[in-house]
Amino acid sequence: MPLPVLEKEKNPVDVIAFQGFPHGLNTNIPSFQLIKSELARCVNWEINKGGRLKTRYPIVQYTNTATTSNASVVAFAEIPIGGTNRKLLADANNVIYYLDGNLDPVTITGTLEGTPTFIGYNGVAIILDGGRIKYLDGVSTVKIAYDDGTGASGYQCNNKDADDSSSIALGNGTNTTVAYKFTSQVWTTGYTIPPTTVTAKLSKNGTPAANVISVVVRKVSDGSAIATKTLLASAATLTTVATEYTVDYAASDISSQLVPNTAYYMSVEHTGGDAANYVKVHCTSVGSGGTAFYYAGGIWNADTTRTPNISLRPGMPPKASFGGVFRGRLFVAGDSSNPGYVWFCNLTHLDWSTANGGGYIGAIDASANNFNVGAIQVLYDNLYVFGKETQPYIARLAYFDPSAYELSPFFIAGWATHKTCVNTVNDLFFGAGEGVGNLSGVQEFGDIRALAVSDPIYDRIRTHWNTSTAMAGYYPKDGQYWMVMPTYHRVLVCHTKLPIAEPLNERILRYPWAEYEFYRNILTTSTYKWTASGSGTNEYYVQTAAGGDPGFLAQPDFITLENIKIDEGTAGSLGDHEWDYGDNDTLGYNTVYVRDNSGDPDSSGVAIRSILVPTSLGTVGSDIYIGGSDGFVYVPTTGDYKDLEEYQIIPRLKTSYVEVPFKHVNLTGFQLLTHSRTGAGMSIKLFKNGMQSEYVTNWTINLPADDDLTLAEVTMDLEDAEFALNPNQTPLWKRCNVIARSFQFELETATVTSFPIYINGMFVKFRHLSL
């Protein structure tokens, strides 16, 4: 029987679709392990719903002038002060500023003790800088807060509640003053606090002279008065029963304020009377060490067997580095001497000790040292306290009555730093050496490790994390959590509003990441020229095109050459593709040096860029403000398309490496789903068979401009206007004939024009080949 004739099978045609990249960047595993919805590189792309990409907003200079000596901006915030919103910033030299109407930083009197946290509270700006709490009630002078509460910490001196077992005669014809001698508490030199309230326990013997009784704060050094107030208009009103009298000092009563660590007399003063008719100032009898002094015969006399029943407020507030406002109270922590305490105020920044109003809570237990506090944040109606790496935990404030406050732990494996713990409206995102985690406003999870949302970019965190310097901020306009690690030249960007199921475990949510790279300068344009250095091998320094000082305001944060970060070295002994900043040729100014063994950067055609890495991040309204190491503040803008209105933002991406099992395929076509209203230019590279740096095809694509584009919308620079006017002129698909067992696509050198570039995905057409 003849065999049947078999029809020859034709090679089938298939299409692989990269339909958006909703899982975002994943650098933690090799690109051949990624799925199609992930990216091996995603620089300067914002991720939108469905994984659609859009080029990021450029940044522009926001402040008109820089901080003094171009010191780095280390903090920025907008705070309502006395009914006026004020933008505040601080620099690396502990100088604080506000921005005037011209957006110039204006120095505010008062030196900080460290990098501050600014918090708006009751019409003042609270400043937490690691020292005693400070505040601004205007924009002229930083003031140190104080504790005017009635608890133990609310006094400069206090013996009012002790036994009144003895007394000293006042106005007896000899003694005109009886005083409690004290030394003011220690706080930051240069700051002063006003005396506020004085109490004294008095009675009479006989019939004292009907003269005024005053309470006066005097310097021990020269006896001069700094504050004077009438306690009683007439001593005749006293009785024979010891009575505590209290009076508050008004601003008009004070000629100068208390300074730290200085000896004072808190004195009660009265004249007239005789040995049988006088005022009795009640005291506690002590065996030694009494603080009583009396003034008689023109001299001060000590009585070490007595301490007067006198008190003077205020005392000092806690030290703090960070905090938050919860249910009308300010909660603060970060005192290096009491690292396990969280302090809370009595509904005012000037009372930290009144019973059932102000005070402190020990984190987890009553110790000041067992469970150190790393961060405080508020989410909805909860106050969360995070531990530190040495003792991780996350606790939540229990009960809403200050007398019952306690911090109850509910995670035992989480910790954070206050600079990376950020409220993103519905969630808290927080950074640690183990990665970025989050607490959701909808659901709280029991295993914090399973909630590490930074797994896809954990390699970046593992390499660059530093507990002291890592920081983060929130960009509300795009719902992004930005993480900055100063040894890394890009900002890690988490899209907090685009959760998607983890590919390998749908019960876990992933938040897509990208990276932003900001540009301060391009050093290989016609504005500059490169000159061979007189020392070192193949070292060149940059000057203006005319051969002068390029006018750099500060050392670059990083330098890239052909979009690759190069290492910093030492001018005169640089290795190939290293850089330095200084003056190694007696130029009289500092400039950038680069070694490039391929030759003079002017002739080799390489692109050398200066990278801007944020030194602070501050959220105001829907924007995020970026502090710079050059003393300026920057902000993203929709009004331009270049960083600092001059420099292309250079968006780049790389897909996963697609592997075809057990066969080769013939790649026959590629199509990019992309658009930009004013057109754009870009190049697409194709890699195959595991190659990472050598590509087999490089396509140039010029996106057409929309046919209804108006002249008013065309705001691009002339050199960027390389695009087609007719959509039919430039199809966005390419034919190819590449045989491969694996392949990957890379987009680079995109030229953005007036409007962003959008990418929805890409398609690859191929035929199966026989084994």
Q: What is the pLDDT of residues 447-472, one digit of tens each?
A: 434 367 999 999 999 999 999 999 99
pLDDT at 1 over 80: no
Owner of token pair 């601004």: 136
CA 100 to chain centre: 22
Question: Can you tell me the distance from the alpha carbon of 425 to that of 443, in angstroms, rounded to the nearest whole number?
Answer: 14
Q: What is the pLDDT of residues 431-440, one digit of tens each?
A: 999 999 998 8
Q: pLDDT tier at 6 (50, 70, 90 boundaries)?
A: very low
What integer pLDDT is reported at residue 50 of this predicted model? Answer: 92
Question: Can you tell me the distance from the alpha carbon of 275 to that of 712, in angstroms, rounded to the nearest whole number?
Answer: 96
How much is the average pLDDT of 149-159? 97
CA 719 to chain centre: 38
CA 57 to chain centre: 21
Structure tokens at 105: 């930083």
Where in the sequence of the chain do the CATH 2.40.10 domains occur?
Answer: 58-144
What integer pLDDT is reported at residue 165 of this predicted model? Answer: 97
Question: Can you tell me the distance from the alpha carbon of 243 to that of 395, in angstroms, rounded to the nearest whole number?
Answer: 46
Domain 156-313 has CATH 2.60.40: no
pLDDT at 91 over 70: yes
Q: Are 202 and 247 in contact (CB under 8 A)?
A: no
Return the CATH class of domain 13-38+650-768.
mainly beta
**Residue (of 97, 24, 39) closest to 66 by Cα position:** 97
pLDDT at 446 over 70: no
Q: Are 420 and 414 in contact (CB under 8 A)?
A: no
Q: What is the pLDDT of residues 158-204, one digit of tens each?
A: 999 999 999 999 999 999 999 999 999 999 999 999 999 999 999 99
How much is the average pLDDT of 336-343? 95
What integer pLDDT is reported at residue 623 of this predicted model? Answer: 98
| 537 three-state secondary structure | coil
Instruction: Compute the C-alpha angle 130/134/136, nearest 5°.
Output: 140
Q: What is the pLDDT of residues 305-331, one digit of tens each?
A: 999 999 999 999 999 999 999 999 999
Question: Can you tell me the distance from the alpha carbon of 185 to that of 180, in angstroms, rounded to the nearest whole number?
Answer: 15
Cis peptide before 614 (omega within 30 of 0): no
Average pLDDT, whole number, for the chain? 93
- As a whole number of angstroms, the longest Cα–Cα distance in the chain is 148
pLDDT at 33 over 90: yes
Structure tokens at 407: 């911090």
Structure tokens at 545: 């095109």
| 393 contacts: CB under 8 Å, gap ≥ 6 | 363, 364, 371, 386, 387, 409, 411, 412, 414, 415
DSSP 304: T
Residue 50's region, left for phi above 0, alpha for psi from -120 to 50, else beta, is left
What integer pLDDT is reported at residue 558 of this predicted model? Answer: 99
Question: Can you tell me the distance from the alpha carbon of 196 to that of 185, in angstroms, rounded to the nearest whole number?
Answer: 15
Residue type, 149: G
What integer pLDDT is reported at residue 443 of this predicted model? Answer: 46
Q: pLDDT tier at 239 (50, 70, 90 boundaries)?
A: very high
Which CATH topology does 58-144 take?
Answer: Thrombin, subunit H (2.40.10)
Where in the sequence of the chain do the CATH 2.60.120 domains occur?
Answer: 13-38+650-768, 156-313
Q: Which of 62-66, 219-223, 671-675 has the lowest mean pLDDT?
A: 671-675
